[in-house]
Amino acid sequence: MQNFFEKIRVFFAGLTARFGKKPKPQAAVSAVHEPATKPRNGNQPKRKIDRFMAVSWGVTALIVASLLGSTLIYKNARGSQAALPPQPTAEPGSGQTPISGGPTVSGEDGAGEFITRALQLKTNIPERPRSTPVIYRVSRGDAMLSIAEKFKIDTETILFANDELDDNPHNIKPGTELTIPPVDGIYYKWKEGDTFDSVAQKFETKPDEIIDFIGNNIDLTDPQVLTGALVMVPGGTRELRNWAQDLQTAGRGANTGTGGANATNVCGGGPVASGFGWPANSHNISGNGYSPSHLGLDIQANEGDPVYAAGAGIVTMAQGGWNYGYGNVVQIDHGNGYVTVYAHLSSYNVSVCTPVGQGTVIGAAGNTGNSFGAHLHFEVRIGGANVNPYQIVQ
């Protein structure tokens, strides 16, 4: 800025030298006759100031003042605009003013309206639905329920899509690669003679669900599926294998929880449960909860923690080994139509036909059978069918 002002001063000084009044030439005077110079005292008149020089400096001062004023006005305007606080927006359709007490600017016709918003460094990307499956590698600590919740689908859908699990959620292990469908349903390989109606009826869903699913790439103007094509049947389902039916147990007697009305009286009479309590010290679920694909609760328990009889009854199974993935397992017939199952035990201290009361220690929690990580697998059955233990125990 100093250089700029200096250039202006030099410019006007040059104009003064060029166009200003020039002194009149005087005749040469001999030094002998030259009048002696005397210092000017206060009573003598001052020399007149050059008019052009005064005007030029006045213009210069005016320009400088204008530049400084413009700079100050600009900076103040920027500062006040940056200091405006962000204002909240109204809910859509509420009919309220977009902001309250904030800087809304609009013309007579509503044009030019704007609102200020707070700066957001992270962009919100909306979650979009998938139309194709993904592969998920099981890690230590994963359970079928947690994987299903991660992808927002049912556990049965994962079992339907992965034949190697053989309908058993306990068959997953660290390193297992699972096919995760995009929606709840079942994959089906189209066969010759299939129709949308027949396939939908087979898997208990609607034909439009198959046709409209974008991942099936079906031409809506002429819906057809080639033989051998793999299609997703959204909402489709099928019966899962009931592994509990494979467990060989003794019968307590007729019309009890084991074997049904035709069961033989192997163990004879015994105590009958009048209520049911919780079978472990912890009430937390460590893995899978109850679902059509997991017919019990995985209750949190450390290796060796005591396992209690949920109710009074007779032990109709106490067996070690694999037992279809149950590991060391105990079953109690409670004499009132209910049966409880305790699996993956590290040990058990009862035998077949042993009478027990509610709260009797029957074994210790463990990690046997198809399990990775100590816990108690607990089931409740009535009339041979599994029910949610939460509805029975207290």
Q: Under a CB-based contact definition with an 8 Å cutoff, are residues 343 and 246 in contact? A: no
Section 292-298 average pLDDT: 78
Q: How confident is the model at residue 4 (pLDDT cuts 50, 70, 90)?
A: low
Which of 130-144, 257-271, 292-306, 327-341 comes out lowest in average pLDDT?
A: 257-271
Helix axes 2-19, 51-82, angle to 10 degrees: 160
pLDDT, residue 231, reads 95
Question: Domain ranges in the chain?
Answer: 134-234, 243-391
pLDDT tens-digit series, residues 213-253:
999 999 999 999 999 999 999 999 998 876 666 665 666 76
pLDDT, residue 53, reads 75
List Cβ<8 Å contacts ≥24 apart for 256-262. 256/333, 256/335, 256/336, 256/337, 257/333, 257/334, 257/335, 257/336, 257/337, 257/338, 257/339, 257/381, 257/382, 257/383, 257/384, 258/316, 258/331, 258/333, 258/339, 260/383, 260/384
pLDDT, residue 59, reads 80
Task: Enter the tokens of residue 272.
Answer: 């009958």
Q: Under a CB-based contact definition with an 8 Å cutoff, are residues 158 and 171 in contact? A: no
Task: Enter the tokens of residue 320.
Answer: 């070690």
Q: How confident is the model at residue 392 (pLDDT cuts 50, 70, 90)?
A: confident
Task: Please say if the pLDDT value at position 77 is more than 80.
Answer: no
Q: pTM of the prediction?
A: 0.49
Section 374-392 average pLDDT: 85
The CA-based angle 318-321-325, given to 5 degrees, is 100
Task: Enter the tokens of residue 30.
Answer: 């001999």
pLDDT, residue 74, reads 78
Residue 100 burial by Cβ neighbours in a 10 Å radius (0-12, 13-18, 19+): exposed
pLDDT, residue 349, reads 94
Task: Please say if the pLDDT value at position 171 is more than 90.
Answer: no
Section 62-74 average pLDDT: 83
Q: CA–CA separation, 219 vs 165, rounded Å?
A: 34
pLDDT, residue 325, reads 79
Q: What is the mean pLDDT of the chain?
A: 78
Task: Please say if the pLDDT value at position 100 is more than 70.
Answer: no
Q: CA–CA separation, 207 vs 39, rounded Å?
A: 121
Same fold, 134-234 and 243-391: no
CATH superfamily of 243-391: Glucose Permease (Domain IIA) (2.70.70.10)
Q: For residue 359, report the phi and psi dihedrals to the nearest 5 degrees.
A: 90, 0
Beta-bridge mates of residue 187 = 232
pLDDT, residue 99, reads 43
Task: Please say if the pLDDT value at position 55 is more than 60.
Answer: yes
Task: Enter the tokens of residue 323.
Answer: 């037992």
Block residue for tokens 């990775």 = 372
The top-scoring range by mean pLDDT among 19-33, 50-64, 182-196 is: 182-196
Pairing of strands 328-333, 230-234: unpaired
Q: What are the DSSP calls for 308-357, one per residue?
A: E-SSSEEEEEEE-S-GGGT-EEEEEE-SSSEEEEEEEEEEE---TT-EE-
Q: Which residues contact 185 (CB under 8 A, 6 or more apart)?
A: 157, 160, 203, 205, 209, 232, 233, 234, 235, 236, 237
Say which residue, 17 or 296, is predicted with more confidence.
296
Task: Please say if the pLDDT value at position 9 is more than 90.
Answer: no
For 211, the enclosing helix (H) or strand (E) is: helix 207-212
Beta-bridge mates of residue 341 = 331, 379
Considering only the top CATH level, what class is 134-234? Answer: alpha beta
Task: Please say if the pLDDT value at position 133 is more than 90.
Answer: yes
Q: Name the percent of the chain lying above pLDDT 90.
A: 34
pLDDT tens-digit series, residues 241-252:
766 666 656 667
Task: Please say if the pLDDT value at position 274 is more than 80.
Answer: yes
pLDDT, residue 30, reads 53
pLDDT tens-digit series, residues 326-375:
889 999 999 888 889 999 999 999 998 899 999 999 999 999 887 778 99
Q: How confident is the model at residue 97 (pLDDT cuts 50, 70, 90)?
A: very low
pLDDT, residue 36, reads 55
